[in-house]
Amino acid sequence: MSYLKLSQKFSELINVSNGLKLSDIKFRSFRSNSIRTIMAWETEKEKYLNMKAEEKQKNCISLEKIPTWKRLCESEKLPKPIMKMENCPIDNKLNGILSEKISIFEGDITKLAIDAIVNAANSRLQGGGGVDGAIHRAAGSCLRLEGATLAPCNTGDSKITGGYQLPAKYVIQTVGPQLARPEELNKNHFQLLENCYRNSLELLVAKKLKTIAFPCISTGIYSFPNLPAAHTAAYQARKFLEKEHPNVDRIIFCLFLQTDKDIYKGVLQSYFPVSG
Ligand code: APR
């Protein structure tokens, strides 16, 4: 961080500490701890963003190792297709192009060496269980420090942080809808989950990034039923790519549970048909 930026941060700090009416000794330790914290995540973020790919992406999965949906359909026996939900029109003229813009990856999202992985976070952006816990463990403590500067993140919103020790360059943090029980699913929950996918994709192209991976947002601790969540993810990706496919190289659906692997292989056949 430039000296100028540091001194700006420092003067903000003085104002904060003046407000706190700290004693001299307390102020000195408040100041040195805060400077270390400010310096920590910003310096770390720059360091990892500027790191050479081969240095950062040891024992991880590069995009080249992940077949496109088109290749997968040609090489693997797929389950019966699952029909699209009603009122989900698609432009079939784009099927050929778009079937090469998506992939399924079965495994741990923290291993993906791509531009951005999406985290199913909570509003505090301080980590948690599930994929949130896995991403924070792999990224290191600076992810939490940067998250604290962006929180709160409202349900359906997306915010971007560095990827730190992850092979991915960035983490797009999004907060999915939480259901008390799967049976409580309603229109508002669908709307909020659609926002998670759309806002994360819009952030990707706004930052001129090209590759992104989504976990199955809200289908774990937040109890969104897997099948309707897969329909939502597939259709939001389809609608987005119909508009933005020149600016996106790959959208990867990262599947961790067998349930989701079976569901997505059925659902994607109707939202991303390979033949014309
Ligand atoms: N890689 C990919 N997917 C994973 C991984 C991983 N390493 N670990 C878990 N998953 C899958 C789960 O199996 C599930 O399919 O991610 C999906 C989302 O589940 P959760 O992580 O439980 O996320 P969600 O249901 O959105 O609940 C979010 O849980 O961890 C807390 O802080 C988080 O409060 C937030 C809530």
How many whole angstroms from 15 Cα to the centroid of ligand 1? 39
What is the pLDDT tens value at each position of the chain, 276 positions in all?
Answer: 455 555 565 555 555 555 555 566 666 666 666 666 666 789 989 988 998 877 776 679 999 999 999 999 999 999 999 999 999 999 999 999 999 999 999 999 999 999 999 999 999 999 999 999 999 999 999 999 999 999 999 999 999 999 999 999 999 999 999 999 999 999 999 999 999 999 999 999 999 999 999 999 999 999 999 999 999 999 999 999 999 999 999 999 999 999 999 999 999 999 999 975
Identify the residue whose C-alpha is closest to ligand 1 atom 14: 220
Tokens of 202: 């819009």
Interatomic CA distance for residues 158 and 177, integer angstroms = 13
Pocket test for ligand 1, best of 131, 144, 223, 263 (most atoms within 8 A of CB): 131
Angle of helix 24-49 versus helix 3-20 axis, rounded to 10: 150
DSSP string, 100-166: TSEEEEES-GGGEESSEEEEE--TT-S--SHHHHHHHHHH-THHHHHHHHH----TT-EEEEE-TTS
Tokens of 161: 């942080």
Q: Interior CA angle at 236 toward 118 and 218, to 5°?
A: 50
177 lines ligand 1 (CB under 6 A): no
Residues 209 and 115: beta-carbon distance below 8 Å:
yes
Residues 199 and 95: beta-carbon distance below 8 Å:
no
Identify the residue whose C-alpha is closest to ligand 1 atom 8: 131
User: What is the structure's pLDDT at 59?
Assistant: 73
Residue 102, strand partner residues:
251
DSSP string, 3-43: HHHHHHHHHHHHHHHHHHT--HHHHHHHHHHHHHHHHHHHH
* Closest ligand 1 atom number to CA of residue 226: 15
Interatomic CA distance for residues 166 and 135, integer angstroms = 8
DSSP code of residue 184? G
How many whole angstroms from 121 Cα to the centroid of ligand 1? 8
Identify the residue whose C-alpha is closest to ligand 1 atom 17: 216
User: What is the structure's pLDDT at 164?
Assistant: 96
User: What is the structure's pLDDT at 215?
Assistant: 98
Nearest Cα neighbor of 83 from 231, 215, 212, 207 is 231
User: What is the structure's pLDDT at 40?
Assistant: 79
Interatomic CA distance for residues 247 and 240, integer angstroms = 11
Identify the residue whose C-alpha is closest to ligand 1 atom 7: 108
pTM, full prediction: 0.88
Whats the size of the chain, residue-wise?
Answer: 276
